[in-house]
Amino acid sequence: MTVASDYILGQSANAAKRLELQDRHFAVPTEELLDALSLKPTDRVVELGCGPGGLTRRIVSRLGEGGKLISVDSSAGLLEQAALYLKDSGAGKVEFVNADASKPGAWLNGADVVVGRAVLHHIPMAEYLLGKLRGLLRPGTRVGFLEPDFRSPLARLAYLEANGYPEYAALRVWATAINDLYSLRKISPAVGATLGRTLETAGYKNVSTAWYEFQSDSMVIENMLMFYDEVGTTLEKYGILSAAENAEQQRLLTALLPGPHPGIWGMFRAVCEV
């Protein structure tokens, strides 16, 4: 079954390339997430919002005989990219499911682990999903997410911009654009920041959290430039940034290369048990 996706970011090969770059950038927090989940070779793992398969591949490399990964995504295009990406590395252990992760289905059955990276912030009112999941999972199921916060680092940036670093306006405009875009789409640009509290409130056990902040180095700035290309038309449609402003912001960001400069976003890791 094909599921209509209104995922706000791109689903093209270029978007997959941006997510692949992001996978390298997220390598340390991702491996630490899988460590914190104590992934075992025989686990049945359900991955929410797998996209083009960066996290998928990391999970599969930890599974052995009898292990199984069910990777769910609402974008048929990105699932195709994931299948291609995984074809030479443990593809037999993965089943790809085209579904809306906010509506749990049979794909969730029997999970030992539920995991997602950068997916909850694309799900409106993700808190509802997390509460609902707790009731559907078996006691002892390990649950873990890595989710961004595009807001709190703005405070430091605002200070620096006003105190000797006017060129950081380019970082601030980018962060504001992504916050505005997500807010208009009723998705949270800071779901990571409240994730630990949300999981505790939902009744999950042994909740632990960690914060990873990314310096604005060349990899991050490159990713920001790709974002501007990917959603330029959408930013224009919503009146967030015109095409001319987009081009100017890309010029100003490029002038910050190679960095590093202070971070304007980071990820929260939250791990718990049902």
Ligand X SMILES: C[S@@+](CC[C@H](N)C(=O)[O-])C[C@H]1O[C@@H](n2cnc3c(N)ncnc32)[C@H](O)[C@@H]1O
Please give the residue ranges that form the binding site for ligand X (CB under 6 A): 5, 7, 19, 22-23, 49-51, 54-55, 72-75, 78, 100-102, 117-119, 122-123
Question: Is 119 or 195 the residue whose CB approaches ligand X more closely?
Answer: 119
Question: Is 161 or 213 the residue whose CB approaches ligand X more closely?
Answer: 213
Residue 40 in tokens: 């075992």
For residue 95, what are the β-bridge partners? Answer: 70
Query: Least distance from C-beta 128 to ligand X, angstroms?
Result: 12
Query: Least distance from C-beta 268 to ligand X, angstroms?
Result: 14
Q: What DSSP character marks residue 157?
A: H
Question: Is 75 or 141 the residue whose CB approaches ligand X more closely?
Answer: 75
Question: Is 51 or 192 the residue whose CB approaches ligand X more closely?
Answer: 51
Query: Least distance from C-beta 271 to ligand X, angstroms?
Result: 16
Name the closest residue to ligand X (Cβ). 51
Residue 49 in tokens: 């919002």
Question: Is 100 or 180 the residue whose CB approaches ligand X more closely?
Answer: 100
Residue with tokens 């030479």: 88
- CA atoms of 175 and 164, how far apart (whole Å): 19
- CA atoms of 200 and 195, how far apart (whole Å): 9
Query: Least distance from C-beta 167 to ligand X, angstroms?
Result: 28
Number of Cβ within 10 Å of residue 240's Cβ equals 19
195 vs 69, 78, 130, 192, CA distance in Å? 24, 26, 9, 5
Query: Least distance from C-beta 79 to ligand X, angstroms?
Result: 8
